[in-house]
Structure 1
Amino acid sequence: MTPKESKAAETHGADLDERITEALVGAAVGDALGGPVEGYSPEQITERHGGRVHGVVGPWNGDAWRTARPIAPYHKGDGHVTDDTLLTHALVRVYARVRDHLDAYAIAEHLVPDLMTTPRWIPELEAEALPLHRVFLAEKWLVARLHYGHIDPREAGVGNIVNCGAAMYMAPVGLVNAANPAGAYTEALEIAGAHQSSYGREAAGVFAAAVAAACTPGATPDSVVATCLSLAKDGTRAAIEAVCEEASRHRDFESALAPLRAAVTPYDTVGPDYRSPSLGARRPSRLHAIEELPVALGMLVVSGGDFRQAVLGSVNYGRDCDSIATMAGAIAGALGSPVPGDWSKAVSEASRLDLWEPARTLCEITGEIFKRDVLRRRTHEQLFTAMGGTACSA
């Protein structure tokens, strides 16, 4: 048995509640580890930290984080989660209200008011504030279009910049649809229509499918990637295939950093300078993909599904590494790879958030939704049989 096979075999015994917990906690931990080095290159990260990042680190600009551009006034670092986690937890709260599968209207009716009206602890601001004050413009779009513009929620994402904004918080959709990747893909596309279009929306669907596939007993990084390729369309599919093919040639993230970036470059619209995107960046296209999801899947392959290595590879990749590590952490956690206890404790205490509470909530809701799904399926079977459908299906 190879080291990668050994790591994968260790995860098969995890039950659904454990997978939900590891996925949500793992996403938050990845987010917190990636936050302080977001936007920089692997070389810049190494120079700043005297080597690769191996855990929680402080702000890039040290004590000057309150005023130093381009990050101010956010305290990125020291174990603080970012908007990836804030939105993930917000989506769990929407599931807690609806207690069923979600659609774009649920985003308009529940997520948007949550962002606008309920002050919550924001770790990066070290204060209670409306979540709307923390999210960036691509996420403020939800409020502008749905609350003020009264746009049809299913179409509100059209016109927004195309980025990973919708994909980064779709882990709960994959967990609610655990072991049903096609269902997760469809539900996430519906939800993300309120936020994104084009390959940003597509990435949301594929990421949710990856999390759902990872929950399947016996799942491996390769089986998760295969599921993603079976569902992904256009440039998103091509980017995942190219990056994961390159990732299969590496056994450690150190050797994979530059090759994975080279593999995703033809599909990435942002360009070489992450903080100065090209003129064609973030515009709708069938030929392109967000960078974050293919790289997260690539790091999952490189690590053999091991949480620690998948997240560290994502963090040290740089660029939008908080979102990359959020995705890699969620998928590795859903595979059953345990989140290091010292990391989760440090992030929970620094962020002053109970990282396990959303998981407890989603475990309960997932069971309720599954029971409703079974009842709906049984009702359909009875009606289909009453119409003589059994003869047709035979």
Structure 2
Amino acid sequence: MTTTTVETLALDDRITGSLVGAAVGDALGGPVEGYTPQQIVERHGGRVHGIVGPWHGDQWRTARPIAPYHKGDGHITDDTLMTHALIRVYTSVRDHLDAYSVADHLVPDLISTPRWIPELEAEALPLQRIFLAEKWIVSRLHYGHHDPREAGVGNIVNCGAAMYMAPVGLVNAAHPTAAYAEAVDIAGAHQSSYGREAAGVLAAAVAAACVPGATPTTIVDTALSVAKDGTQAAIESVAEAAARHTDFESALVPLRAAIAPFDTVGPDYRSPSLGARRPSRLHSIEELPIALGMLLVNNGDYPGTVLSSVNYGRDCDSIATMAGAIAGALHGAAAVPEGWAKQVAEASRVDLHEPAAQLSAVTREIFTRDMERRRAHEAAFALLTDAR
């Protein structure tokens, strides 16, 4: 009789793989964000296979609609800046987070502490780099003093919250339902509707990727088990389309067709439809379902999953960030090509491994607290149900 042994990667390895993998995906996708697959081919003479320069070359400072950001050459974007900011909140609170953590810790970080911003090639407040959907957090919480749990209501509904929720999945590694609940709570300060829902599902997918023996299929099944409304339907539609493909070239058009009925932005990414990014129970962000679809098409292979996401175009830096976070958690740090990680770290002037080390330490502390809280609850419940 033969016994199948499941190789279990260490928690620290999965956290590093997820966070470094997300940052590399972000940097790979940045220079081609907003374009179609065909435009990408025309600009680069074929598919993107690694780190490339800015779309407009040396004119990146003035060329619209990119200016003044240096997207390319291995620079991380706001996806990773926000991810690292959320990790700093965890390292400060050293426990599970909620919407109030955003108000008490994340907002002050964004508006008070200058940091190196790779795309600006300068030290600046993160507030000066993040987009309007993230500036909303500052406006509502710092200036408007809204209830953090409801501050996301009224914001445009996009992938803004989901793009940096991987740390929540890692803190709740192998516990997808807890990851979902925590991310939905945190994201209430940022988003509403299917944007908030996507944040919860992304966190759950990352947590599911950490389950020993996980596969792309089990990850998607877990995502479907927690997802609600249009997000669930969109993931299901994209997953069904992805199941018929094993290479991204043939999958590009079918996956876009599968997500189109749920995507409010419309066919022209840079000219959104009139109904774009409005709350709805029928719709979904595009980025998360496509990231999961590319994970299925490539059977979880990190380089294939991320490059497929990059060459999909549209909001491909966020798609590749999410795909990289999930694939990196699934396979660990070794799955992320060392050359890519090194180039991104050097170009962005950021230590990609230190945030992972910090989050690993905090995750262990939180788990210990969870166990203590669980034991206290068990003891109290035992007294309540004592038959005497």
Fold conserved (TM > 0.5)?
yes
1:167 aligns with 2:138: no
Alignment of 1:99-118 (within 5 A): 99-118=94-113
Alignment of 1:288-307 (within 5 A): 288-307=283-302
Matched residues in 1 for 2:98 and 2:84: separation? 17
Structure-2 residue corresponding to 1:382: 379
Q: 1:367 to 1:286 in 2, by over 3 A?
A: same
Instruction: State which of 312, 318, 326 in structure 2 corresponds to 1:323.
Output: 318
CA positional deviation for 1:253: 1.0
Q: Quick check: 1:295–1:324 contact (8 Å CA) kept in 2?
A: yes
Structure-2 residue corresponding to 1:178: 173
Give CA-to-partner distance per residue, 1:303-350, whole Å, 9 cap, x none: 101000000000000000000000000000010151010110010010
Instruction: State which of 253, 259, 266 in structure 2 corresponds to 1:264.
Output: 259
Question: SS of 2:185's equivalent?
Answer: helix
1:128 aligns with 2:107: no
Matched residues in 2 for 1:382 and 1:271: separation? 54
Matched residues in 2 for 1:332 and 1:364: separation? 21
> Unaligned stretches of 5+ in structure 2?
none
Question: SS of 1:284's equivalent?
Answer: coil
Matched residues in 2 for 1:265 and 1:310: separation? 20
Q: Quick check: 1:11–1:336 contact (8 Å CA) kept in 2?
A: no
CA positional deviation for 1:13: 3.1
Instruction: State which of 102, 118, 135 in structure 2 corresponds to 1:140.
Output: 135
Q: 1:164 to 1:11 in 2, by over 3 A?
A: farther
> Unaligned stretches of 5+ in structure 1?
1-8
Structure-2 residue corresponding to 1:340: 337
Q: Quick check: 1:348–1:355 contact (8 Å CA) kept in 2?
A: yes
Structure-1 residue corresponding to 2:309: 314
Matched residues in 2 for 1:328 and 1:280: separation? 27
Give CA-to-partner distance per residue, 1:358-380, whole Å, 9 cap, x none: 00000000000000000000000
Q: Quick check: 1:34–1:315 contact (8 Å CA) kept in 2?
A: yes
Q: Quick check: 1:12–1:335 contact (8 Å CA) kept in 2?
A: no
Matched residues in 1 for 2:216 and 2:185: separation? 26
Q: Quick check: 1:96–1:361 contact (8 Å CA) kept in 2?
A: yes
Matched residues in 1 for 2:105 and 2:296: separation? 36
Q: Quick check: 1:11–1:335 contact (8 Å CA) kept in 2?
A: no
Question: SS of 1:161's equivalent?
Answer: coil
Q: 1:334 to 1:266 in 2, by over 3 A?
A: same
Equivalent position amino acid for 2:59 in 1: A
CA positional deviation for 1:12: 3.9
Instruction: State which of 10, 15, 19 in structure 2 corresponds to 1:20.
Output: 15
Matched residues in 1 for 2:85 and 2:385: separation? 45
CA positional deviation for 1:69: 0.2
